Amino acid sequence: MAEYAKFTEEMIHTHTILVPDMLPIHFKLLIAIFESKGYHMELLQNDSRAVVDEGLKNVHNDACYPALLVIGQFMDALKSGRYDPDKTALLITQTGGGCRASNYIHLLRKAVNRNFPQVPVVSLNFSGLEKDSGFKITASMFFKMMYAVLYGDLLMTCYNKCRAYEVRKGESKAVLDKWQDALGEIFRTGSGRYTHTKQLYTEILNDFGAIKLSDEKKIKVGIVGEIYVKYSPLANNHLEDFLISEGCEPVVPSLLEFVMYCAAGTFNDAKLYDSKTLSSAVFKLGYKLIYSKQKELIKVMKKNGKFEPLHDFEHLRRLADKYINQGVVMGEGWLIPAEMAALAQSDVENIICAQPFGCLPNHIVAKGMSRAIKDDNPNANIVAIDYDPGATRVNQENRIKLMLVNAKR
């Protein structure tokens, strides 16, 4: 077995850790939390064709598109000359589930070892997959990360709504930047103000609510699918920006839904297979805590009244039960049809399911369930868009334009 560079505690103070660009709003807040512990991180922004080419060079054909892009983005950054390989590390997330995403780290280490063997790869996971790494997540950091996801979801929801209708272009981005900086500083300083959620939620909602919006009636388009392609502008060819340019309002489900989906999967499996463990009990307690925080945010959003509240996760679970068993947890599993159904039951009838071409489980639960969802919601307009190295942006956008033509009818 090949030996790979390990991330040591000393490297916390000497290395820059590169982070892939999946959720720009959320990840900037998460980076601030690690910076408060002495880590130095940088969110990658390189998204040229060179990223795809590097991925094709370093990832075999059996790997899915997100693996190709994440590895390609890292390799492109390392080869750019901007970073000293002797003082650089890479961060990749792992869910620990059955999806091939949990094995990206091995593909990445193999690619890095061929070109930059001194560069360590760090795993960000909550499943104990890496026990000998100097990269540690403490209990206090976990709680801060939970709050960062909540704030990130609120900022993403408000920003997408406002920039679709803003009268003075750029005003929504200015408010977003203001709050990313303010929240980042709160997390960096280590103060406990991040727990003052009701106050901060209200201030954020009021700031976005003060933006002057047009009364124009626009088509709302929901975006669901595989987590990386759903959120990453690199993976989905800046889908949210494209929808804005086409006169639409993008509606993106919260990251917290995926976090809770992962937690629920652990204790659901324990029940289904009658194998309750300490781990499943801990995840159930964690789920209850996160759900209580989600309900608090929903309550504040409802009171404000200017923005559509996040989907209540227990409501999503009930919707899933109508179409698919909650034991289906490969990839995004039952979460995709649940989110499609929740959007279709609201006033977001047009839905894009963004999928990496090689992700078979997500194709099954997305395309396979869309007919049943359409039967229950006749006005639902659902289109699956494949993203892979051979799919052209023009073809993807033309398919979306065709969907919008049907929506206008």
Residue 246 CA to residue 235 CA, distance in Å, equals 19
Per-residue model confidence (pLDDT) at position 329: 86
* Structure-token pair, residue 409: 């009818």
Residue 390's contacts (CB-CB under 8 Å, 6 or more residues apart) are 357
Is 66 within a domain? yes
Q: Which residues of the chain have pLDDT under 50?
A: none
Residues 262 and 371 in one domain: yes
Per-residue model confidence (pLDDT) at position 123: 87
Residues 275 and 391 in one domain: yes
For 202-245, the pLDDT digits (tens) are 999 999 999 999 999 999 999 999 999 999 999 999 999 999 99
Is 272 within a domain? yes
Q: What is the CATH number of the domain that holds 73?
A: 3.40.50
* Structure-token pair, residue 260: 């809770």
| Continuous segment of H or E residues that includes residue 139 | helix 139-165
Q: Report the number of distinct structural domains present in the chain.
A: 2
Per-residue model confidence (pLDDT) at position 101: 63
Residues 94 and 224 in one domain: no
* DSSP count for the chain of H helices, then E strands: 16, 8
Sign of CA dihedral 57, 59, 65, 69: negative
Is 209 within a domain? no
Among 85, 113, 137, the domain boundary falls at: 137
Is 266 within a domain? yes
Residues 389 and 249 in one domain: yes
Among 120, 137, 154, the domain boundary falls at: 137
Among 106, 137, 168, the domain boundary falls at: 137
For 1-37, the pLDDT digits (tens) are 568 899 999 999 999 999 998 999 999 999 999 999 9
Structural domain including 228 reads 218-408
Residues 19 and 114 in one domain: yes
